[in-house]
Structure 1
Amino acid sequence: MKNDELKLCGLATVRARFARDAGSIQRLFFDYATGRKVGLMCKALASARKVYRCVEPAELEKIAGTVHHGGIVAVVAAPKLEAPGAADLKNWAAKRTPVLLLDRIGNAHNLGAIARSAGFFGVSHIVIPEHPQAALPSEAAYRVAEGGMEAVTVHRVKDLATFARSLATAGFDVVGAATRGGRPEAASRSSAKPVALVLGNEEHGLSPEMSAACSRLVTIPGSGAIESLNVSTAAAVLLWEFFGRRS
C-alpha cells in the first residue's frame, strides 16, 4: 500500500465515498456476503477498468490491516489538507457557515466520531492544527465516522489560535468549550454572529493560547458526579446546542 493511499473500511463508509466521488475509488475488495450488496460499485469500477475482487476473510483482513474491516475495503487517495484562505473566511462569514475547530484532538477515533456528529448537524468545515498531538483523518477516523468524513472538509492550519483570531476578525463568534469556568448558556441566547466552535485536547482541554483567542468560553453543565464528558460526546452536545437547534 502506498503512503499516499488510504483504505476505507466498512460498508457505510465505502458507500458514502462512492456516492460522493465514485471515481476516487482506485481498488475495491470485499468478502462474499458483502459482494452481494455492491453490484453497482463493481459495475462502475469495471467500466473504469479498475480492480475489484471478492477475497477470503484472511486476505481481506491483511488488505485492511485490521479485523474491523466490515467486509469491504476501498483504496482511495489520501486527502489533501489545505488551510482556508482569507477569501474563504469572508465567504463563510457572509453565509454564516458554521465552523468546528479541534485543538489537538489526539485520538483518531474521537476525530471520526466528531466528524460524524458534525456531518449530522450540517457543520461541513473542520479545522485542525499542524501539531504532533493532533490526529489526522486516518483510516481509523474514516471507519469510526461511518461516512461522516464525506460530509465534512478537514482543513489544516499552522497555528489554530492565530486562525481563530482571523475568524473573529472576519466576524465570527469564536466559542471555546471549557471543562469548567465557562458560561452554561444555550445557543438560543448566544450570538447573532456566525459561530466557530472550538474543542480542546482530550486530557488537557484548550491550550492557554487557544482560550485567549476565543470570544468566550462555555461549559456543559452536569450533575458534578463526573468531571467531564468524552470530547466526542461533548462535541455532539455542543453541536446540537449551537447548530442543531437552529436547523
Structure 2
Amino acid sequence: MDKRRIDRDSVWRNARIPSRTNAAERDDAHAQRGAAHTPYPASRRGEEVRVYGCNACLAVFAKRLDDVRKVYLTDARIAEFKSVLAWCVKQRIGYRVVENEDLDRLTESQHHEGVCFEVRKSPPLPLRELLQRIPRDEPALLIWLDGVGNPHNVGALLRSAANFGARGAILPADAPALSGAAMRVAEGGAEAVPLAQAHAGEDVFESLHDAGFAVAATVPRAGRDLYENKLPDRLALILGAEGEGMSARLIADADLRLTVPGTGAVESLNVSASAAVLFAEYWRQHLS
C-alpha cells in the first residue's frame, strides 16, 4: 500500500472529539487542525459528493447515516454536531476540525456554514418504482423538471417541494446528480423529496397516466388561472428550464396548462418562485 495513503488515513483515525470546555480543549482542537494545511483526501469522483450547510448535513445524517464518509467542521460547529462526532468515533469515520478558509476550498463556496460532509451519492429511483410507492387512492403532487439546471433553483424547488408535501421529483434521463450547492439551498429538502429519473426513451407521460396522474405544464401566460381552477388530486407539474422555458412538445402534450396570475409588470417569475406558488395552491386545495 502507498505509504502516503497510510499516513493520510492515520490523520483521520487519530482525530478526537474535544469534550472539555477549558484551555486543554482548545489545545486538542488546535492539534487536530495542525494537519489542515496538508492536501485533503479527494472525494471519489463520481461516487461521492461534498454536502455543506448545517441543515443539509443534518438531514443527510438523519436520513442516510451509512452514506456519510468524512466530516469537516469548524470550532464553532463542534457543540451542534457533537452527536455526529461521537458517531464518527464509534464508527471510525474520519473527521477534522478546520478553518473557514479550508472549507471555502473544499466546498468551492463561502456559504458552507462551517460544516461539510463527504457523502456517498444516492442514485435516483427508476420512475416506475417511485410511482409504485404512491398509493393510487391518495392525492399526490409530483414535480417534473424539464432542463432546470441552476443548482440554486433546483435546491429552492426541492425546499419548497418538501415544505408543501410533494411526493417526488422527476429528473430527465441526462440530468446530472445533485450538487452540493443544490443540497445546501434545499436546506434538507433534498433528503425529504425522493428523486426519480426517467431512462432514455421512456414515455414519462404514459407512466404518469398509468399511475393516475394528470400532467400540467406551467406557462407564463395563456394558461388556466391557477386560482380559478380545481387542480387534479394526482398532479405532475412540469417546470421549465431557466431562460428558454419549457419545451414546446411538453406544453403541447400536457393535459392542462397553468398560469400564475399577476400584474404583468414582469414577463414571468423565476422558476423556483413560480413553483412555490403552484405547490402552495396544490397544498391548500388537497393537503391542508
Asked whether 1:7 is paired with 2:47, we answer: no
Corresponding residue of 2:59: 16
Consecutive unaligned residues of structure 1, counting only runs of 5 or more, are none
Q: Which whole-Å CA distance do the structure 1 matches of 2:72 and 2:170 have between them?
A: 32
- 1:114-148 deviations in Å (ceiling 9; x for gaps): 000000011130001024xx564111100111111
With 160-169 and 137-146 compared, the bigger mean Cα shift is at 160-169
Q: Which whole-Å CA distance do the structure 2 matches of 1:85 and 1:79 have between them?
A: 17
Distance 1:57 1:90, change over 3 A: closer
Q: Which whole-Å CA distance do the structure 1 matches of 2:99 and 2:91 have between them?
A: 24
With 205-214 and 225-234 compared, the bigger mean Cα shift is at 205-214
2:80 paired residue among 37, 46, 60: 37
CA displacement at 1:18 relative to structure 2: 1.2
CA displacement at 1:91 relative to structure 2: 4.2
Distance 1:205 1:10, change over 3 A: same
2:220 paired residue among 175, 179, 187: 179
CA displacement at 1:88 relative to structure 2: 2.9
> Is contact 2:231-2:285 (8 Å) kept?
no
Q: Which whole-Å CA distance do the structure 1 matches of 2:168 and 2:203 have between them?
A: 17
SS in 2 for 1:95: coil
Q: Which whole-Å CA distance do the structure 2 matches of 1:215 and 1:47 have between them?
A: 53
CA displacement at 1:89 relative to structure 2: 4.7
Consecutive unaligned residues of structure 2, counting only runs of 5 or more, are 1-42
Letter paired with 1:128 = L
TM-score where L is the length of structure 1: 0.91
Q: Which whole-Å CA distance do the structure 1 matches of 2:99 and 2:130 have between them?
A: 49
Q: Which whole-Å CA distance do the structure 1 matches of 2:201 and 2:164 have between them?
A: 23
Counterparts of 1:112-131 in structure 2 under 5 Å? 112-131=155-174
With 82-91 and 144-153 compared, the bigger mean Cα shift is at 82-91
Q: Which whole-Å CA distance do the structure 1 matches of 2:269 and 2:200 have between them?
A: 26
Asked whether 1:27 is paired with 2:70, we answer: yes
Corresponding residue of 1:224: 264
CA displacement at 1:6 relative to structure 2: 0.6
TM-score where L is the length of structure 2: 0.78
Equivalent pairs: percent with the same residue?
Answer: 31
2:90 paired residue among 20, 42, 47: 47
Q: Which whole-Å CA distance do the structure 2 matches of 1:105 and 1:138 have between them?
A: 13
Asked whether 1:237 is paired with 2:277, we answer: yes
- 1:49-70 deviations in Å (ceiling 9; x for gaps): 1111211222222222322211
CA displacement at 1:76 relative to structure 2: 0.4
Work out which of the two has the higher radius of gyration on C-alpha atoms and give 1 or 2. Answer: 2
Corresponding residue of 1:83: 126
Letter paired with 2:104 = E
1:108 paired residue among 142, 151, 166: 151
